[in-house]
Structures are given as C-alpha cells and as structure tokens.
Structure 1
Amino acid sequence: MSRSRWWLAGLALAGVVVLVAVLVLVDVGDQGPTDRPGPPGTGPLTVVSMGDSTISGEGAGDYTPRTSGRGGNWCHRSTNALVHKVRYGGAVESVNLACSGAPSGHVALGDVKQYTEPSQAAQLRELVKTHRVVAVVVAIGANDEPHFSRLISECFTAWFMETGSPCSERIKADWQSRVDAMVPKVTAALRDIRTVLRQAGYDREDYELLLQSYASPIGADIPETLRNLNGCPFRVDDLKWVEQTGAVSLSAGLRRAAGQAGARFLDLSRAGEGHEACSGGDRADNEWFTRFTVQWDDLKVVERASHALQESFHPNAKGHEQFARCVSEFLATNDPAAACLEGQDGNLHAAPSPAARGNS
C-alpha cells in the first residue's frame, strides 16, 4: 500500500474512533441523572398547609363538617383558608392539615393528638402517597410556651376587671424567655416535615417549606365605642404591647426557627395594620380579622358550648385571601425571607416587592 493510502486509512480510523467516542459520551449522558420536573411520585401537584388556627381557617367560616365538632374534632378547617387560595408551582389541589389550637408537637412526628387527630406530619406521610407536594406552608408556635391565645384571654379579663394593672405588665416579665423556649420546638417540627418528605424520595429542590409568623389581630387605635363586648374588649396599654412588642418578638423567634430548619420565612407581624378587628368602626367591611364572636346556638349544646367563642380575633375570609396573595407572591421568588406589607393598591405584597411600601 502506498504512503498516501496509509495516510488516508489512518485518518479514516481516527475519524471512526472520534465518532465512537462521541456516541458513547452521548449515550452515557442520556443514561445519567436529569433534572426532575418536580416532586417525585404520582398524583396531582399540591400545596399543603400545616399548623394551628391561624392557618386552619378559624374565624373564616364555612368549616368542613368533619372538623366543626363532629366526634370532638374542632380543628375548624375552613374552605376559605389561605391554602385554598395560594397559587404556586402549577398546583391544582390544596390540602389543609392544620388544626385549631395545635402546638408544634402536633405538627411534628409523634403521639400528640389535637381534637382527636393524629400528628400532622404523619398525615403528610400518607398524603404524599397520592399527591405530589410542591409547597408546605406552616404556622405554628403561638400555642407553645407563648400561649398567645391565653394572652388574649388574660387581657380580656384585665379589661373586664377594670381595676388592677394591665395584663401586659404580667406577661412581658417572662415573654422573651417563653419565645426562646418555643424556638427549638418549632425547629423540630419543621425538621420532621423535611424528614417525611425526604423519606418519600423528595429532594429539597422539589418543594418549598415556608414558615409564616402571626399578624396582630387587634390594634390600639380602635374607637372607644367598640372597646367592649360589641367589638374588642381590651385595654389600650395591652393592645399597644401586643401590637408593638408581643407580635414582633414572636415573629423574631419564628424567624430564628425557620433559619435553623432551613425553611423560608414570611413575617406577618405588620400584615394587618389598618385592617385589625374593630379598626373599621361601624363598618367592618375592610377588616381582615374577626371581632369578639359568639356562636349563640353552640351555647345551647353542652358539647359545643366551650367552643362558642373559638372564632374570636382570628383572620376572616378576607384576611386569608390577602395572606394567600402575599404567600403566592413570596413563593414565586427566590428570597429566603420577606414581610407581608400593604401596597399602594390596598393589597398585601411580599416586601421587598416594588408594590409594597415600608420595610420589614
């Protein structure tokens, strides 16, 4: 064979080797891991809520029959709850696992029951067998050491008694230590949620875990004509403390818990400004929280009487709609934390959104 033919044959052989190498590399790449199009498993893309009364829908009305006292279940899950209004990640379904009065221990894995219901994390474990979860929105902490509902009750008693010091004088003495004691419990519950999803095959990138704080349901600037059983029976000093100190420090503690669990955090401590219970005077149309509420028919039934006041001073249906708007906006960003603030359009937005005013 001539030298030119050897040269051509060598060139052809080299070309074949390169071609084979390229095909092999392409084939290996095709067989390797690829980005998943979302959560693993089968079923509809779903947003889930977990936590206590502020997210279950207490005060928003239209409770599911099973959670409105049937068999002792008073979780009060509302069809108006924010989870059913959140828009994120192409989700076509929403599931409310939250339960009124739930402490962090009920959201976590374990044997803690709330109104006959088992652990919410355990319920999530069952849910992921039939649903693909894109986001879990959580609201917990107030029913741990802070006992925010008891705080409201004590402040109501202080108003009723008239004499004596404001309830906030007693509460603020150990308030920060209570908040500090709450933090590890909230952190543990959030980590249990992660554990359940990890065991179901989820990567952290497959879903969003969001912890939201609490909006102050009552402000100090309410008409004197409503500072009674017709509206908001509380002392001015106590309302100022709850709004300016109690809710703010509670939110700071929850922010710490979210950070320790690697969850995103949404600050609601100022979300209700200008829309608190009784802030509208004679017209409650623009209020996002319930006033002092009594279910008079429940007082006639022994099994229901102790829950007749349960809806008082909680986000109403309008409040849940506004909170859902802010949650949806926040989830659509990559921000680790934000605050819900009212924008120039009168709606809540996730700061630092251009549509929101103020600072977190």
Structure 2
Amino acid sequence: MSENSATAASGGRARRFAAAALTLPLAVSGLLAAGAAQAHADSGGGIAVSMGDSYISGEAGRWAGNSDTITGSRDGTDRAWNGSSYNASSVYGATAGGCDRSDSAEAISAFGSAGAVNIACSGATTADVFRASSGGQTYKGEAPQADQLAAIAAQQRVGLVALSIGGNDLGFADAISACIKDYEVWYSYCNATEQSAVDSKIDSAMTNVGKAIDEVRAVMTADGYADSDYRIVLQSYPSPIPRSSEDRYPESGWSRTMTGGCPFWNADLDWARDQLIPQLAQRLGQVAAGHGAQFLDLQDFLQGHEVCSTSDSLATDDQPTDAASGEWARFLTTGATQGTVQESFHPNYYGELGLGRCLSLVAAEPAGQNFACRSTPGQDASGVYLNPLS
C-alpha cells in the first residue's frame, strides 16, 4: 500500500511521519519507508502492532519443542540450524541476542508480516513503553515503544495494539533464578520469599501498566485516531511450568534438571502455577478494565503443553515431536550448549503459533468482550480456543 492509499484508508486523517526524530528497529523503519503493510480486516481494519516484553516479542521462537541432544538440529527442534552451523538471526533477524523478535512472534503468527509490526523487546519494563516526554527511556538502542508506535500510526492505519508488560517490573526473571537456585543449590523453597517480593512491587507495577495503556491511547489520539478506530488488547502471562501433579519427572534426583530442564520443587511449582500466575492475571484484568483496554487472559494457555508436563514430551532422534506432542515453552538452558539463557521459560515456536491464534480469535470478536485463551493438550494450534470472561 502506498503512502497516499494508506492515508485514504484511514479516512483521510492528515498526519505527519517524524521518522527522523526516532531511533526505530531496522524491521520497523524499513516497513514504514516502504509503506508495505496491508490493512488486515481481523485487526480492526488496519495493521496490528505488538508492544511490550519478551512474552510478545517472540523470545524462544527459535525452538520447535525441546531436546536434550546438544548437537546438530537438536532432534529437529532448533530452527536456527542450517545443516552445518547455527544462525539465530534466521529466526530473530537483526534483534538476535537483544530484543529477540522472532519470525513466529504472536502478532506475526496472527496476521502475517504484512499485517503486523512487532516493536516489543525482550526484557522491557513499563518505562520502556512510555513516551520519552512522559519519562520513557531508550532501551537496547531503541526509542521508547510509544514513540515508535506514534511513527507507525502516523504512517499507516493501526487497528489493534497488543500489549504484554509488567512481568519485568515485578522481577520475574529474578524470581525464576531464585527458585532454580533453591532447588539446585540451597535445597529450600522459594515461594514465600518470592511471593513477598511480588506483593511489595505489584501495586506500583500495575499503576505503571495502566500508565502504559494511557500512553498508547495518548499516542493514538495525537495521531488523529478516535477510540473507536482501534482496540488495545492487554494480555496476561501463561505459566511455562506445570503443577507438581502434572510434572512427568520425580521431585528428587537430577532428571528434572539434566533431562527435563524444569528444576523446581513441587511446592514452588504449585505456587507459581496456582498462585503467582493467577494473581497477576487478576490484577492485569483489573487494570485493563480501569483503562479501557480489552483483556486477554493467558494464565491457562499452556495447560498440557508446559515444560515437563505429563501431557507432552521431549523430542528424540527416534521420536521427533510436533506441535501436538511437543512442549510449547523453552526449557531451562544455561546457554553453554543450546541457545541463550534469556530464551528459557518463554513460549517457543509452537507456543507462538498458538498465541497467534489467540490474538486472531480475539481480533475477530467485539472489542468490548474479554476472553481467556486456552489450548487443548495433544493438539496443535488448531486446538486453541477462547472462553468469554464475565
């Protein structure tokens, strides 16, 4: 679509594109310069823009399941294997090792590369979403995401903004690290200490998530959009690990760590799955309601597809996995033998395809309705479905 036709499609709104004032991701700046994205009916009559952190950027999209084989294609799970070496940029492009925006990221899986722009960045906090004029900060060499959105929305019609943010404000990565150390080193539980840490931060984090939504709204208003011209979808986080009763490895011994890549005590598994993730979903749902955003509850999305679940399996040379039987999240890796540490416990390639279906299903529904998205154990992304939330 040319610049003139994009303007016509947006109802003739007069906008300016101030690309020179921003440091944009390479993929985004190239897309805007070309004016190549086509309007996509499922995203409200315009393109979709995904913003926020690693759970929507596509972190771990390199991996189609998990395998404890450390050479070659890792039993077919490593999408960066080219037959003789590994090239992470084939999945993450120029953002490999940084924002890790994968070719299978949620919005791209939902609407295709012509119907979506992904500006989310692994490790981002709410401050990385705010406009610079509102206290936003440059992160990994890129302008605040709301400022990037302003440039995109000025050039092309945006029909949907998908936002995943707040987890890094709460220190999710630190909590996971602490729980792993308690299992492998200290032989103690992490849940009480980490729950206290979350409780001490969550009010501030949710206030900032609300501000992030308001920042998106302010950008869109400044670019001439009415609230009815687009929708904001705030999503929660899925649990990449199962309950203890659904973990296929025994609690003691080394199989959870060395084979399964899920080194957590049973009590900590149950805390994360049934207390932490639901708590965050509840609070994010409240924020969405208070700031006029649609809510997508993902707390049960990976049920039956988690790392170490009894309902799925690792890939082996004899039995390569697929989206129906394989794990949908990346297991723990030290980065010494497979990929990078930052990919651990994020939705992988299969998970991203499922999340893409979640988003496309939500986009096809009325903007005022909230939904929970779930998957079906033993099925691929075709088994993903929505449940309306009251």
TM-score (normalised: structure 2): 0.72
Quote the offset at 1:175 in angstroms. Answer: 2.8
Quote the offset at 1:282 in angstroms. Answer: 4.0
Note the 1:278-317 alignment, pairs <5 A: 278-279=308-309, 280-283=312-315, 285=322, 286-296=326-336, 308-317=340-349
Quote the offset at 1:256 in angstroms. Answer: 1.5
1:40–1:67 distance in 2 versus 1, CA, 3 Å: farther
Structure 1, unaligned runs of 5 or more: 1-35, 299-306, 353-358
Q: Report the counterpart of residue 115 of structure 2 in structure 1.
A: 93
1:141–1:39 distance in 2 versus 1, CA, 3 Å: farther
Q: Report the counterpart of residue 258 of structure 2 in structure 1.
A: 229
Q: Does 2:243 align with 1:209?
A: no
- Give yes or no for contact 1:176–1:249 (8 Å, CA) kept in 2: no
Q: Does 2:144 align with 1:119?
A: yes
Q: Does 2:93 align with 1:65?
A: yes
Q: Report the counterpart of residue 4 of structure 2 in structure 1.
A: none
Quote the offset at 1:128 in angstroms. Answer: 1.8
1:282–1:106 distance in 2 versus 1, CA, 3 Å: closer
1:39–1:139 distance in 2 versus 1, CA, 3 Å: farther
Q: Deviations over 1:184-243 (max 9, x none)?
A: 100001110111111100011111110000000111322226411332111111111000
What is the distance in 2 between the residues matched to 1:112 and 1:147? 18
Secondary structure in 1 matching 2:196: coil
Q: Report the counterpart of residue 47 of structure 1 in structure 2.
A: 48
Q: Report the counterpart of residue 23 of structure 1 in structure 2.
A: none
Secondary structure in 2 matching 1:310: helix
Q: Report the counterpart of residue 194 of structure 2 in structure 1.
A: 171
Given candidates 113, 116, 130, the residue that maps to 1:108 is 130
Secondary structure in 2 matching 1:48: strand
Q: Does 2:227 align with 1:187?
A: no
What is the distance in 1 between the residues matched to 2:274 and 2:230? 34
What is the distance in 2 between the residues matched to 1:276 and 1:123? 33
What is the distance in 2 between the residues matched to 1:97 and 1:40? 26
Mark the structure with the bigger radius of gyration. Answer: 1
Q: Report the counterpart of residue 155 of structure 2 in structure 1.
A: 130
- Give yes or no for contact 2:313–2:327 (8 Å, CA) kept in 1: no
Quote the offset at 1:37 in angstroms. Answer: 6.6
- Higher mean C-alpha deviation, range 311-320 or range 111-120: 111-120
Q: Does 2:369 align with 1:336?
A: yes
- Give yes or no for contact 1:54–1:314 (8 Å, CA) kept in 2: yes
What is the distance in 2 between the residues matched to 1:37 and 1:350? 30
Secondary structure in 1 matching 2:142: coil
Secondary structure in 1 matching 2:155: coil
What is the distance in 2 between the residues matched to 1:63 and 1:282? 21
TM-score (normalised: structure 1): 0.78
- Give yes or no for contact 1:59–1:315 (8 Å, CA) kept in 2: yes
Q: Report the counterpart of residue 243 of structure 1 in structure 2.
A: 273
Secondary structure in 2 matching 1:166: coil
Q: Deviations over 1:302-342 (max 9, x none)?
A: xxxxx931111100011011111111111211243110123
Runs of 4+ residues over 6 Å off in structure 1: none
What is the distance in 1 between the residues matched to 2:296 and 2:264? 28
For 2:294, the aligned partner's letter is R
For 1:243, the aligned partner's letter is R
Q: Report the counterpart of residue 274 of structure 1 in structure 2.
A: 304
- Give yes or no for contact 1:107–1:119 (8 Å, CA) kept in 2: yes
What is the distance in 1 between the residues matched to 2:152 and 2:356? 22
Structure 2, unaligned runs of 5 or more: 1-7, 16-34, 40-46, 63-89, 316-320
Note the 1:313-332 alignment, pairs <5 A: 313-332=345-364
Secondary structure in 1 matching 2:281: helix
Quote the offset at 1:262 in angstroms. Answer: 0.5
Secondary structure in 2 matching 1:338: strand
Given candidates 337, 341, 351, the residue that maps to 2:387 is 351
Quote the offset at 1:150 in angstroms. Answer: 1.1
1:63–1:345 distance in 2 versus 1, CA, 3 Å: closer
Quote the offset at 1:281 in angstroms. Answer: 3.7
- Give yes or no for contact 1:40–1:201 (8 Å, CA) kept in 2: no
What is the distance in 1 between the residues matched to 2:360 and 2:10? 18
What is the distance in 1 between the residues matched to 2:174 and 2:186? 18
Identity level (%): 34
Greater relative contact order, per chain length (Cα 8 Å cut-off, separation 6+): 2
1:66–1:343 distance in 2 versus 1, CA, 3 Å: closer
Q: RMSD of the alignment, in Å?
A: 2.5
Quote the offset at 1:40 in angstroms. Answer: 5.7
- Give yes or no for contact 1:40–1:132 (8 Å, CA) kept in 2: no
Secondary structure in 2 matching 1:293: coil
Secondary structure in 2 matching 1:228: helix
What is the distance in 2 between the residues matched to 1:191 and 1:125? 13
Secondary structure in 2 matching 1:216: coil
Quote the offset at 1:39 in angstroms. Answer: 6.5
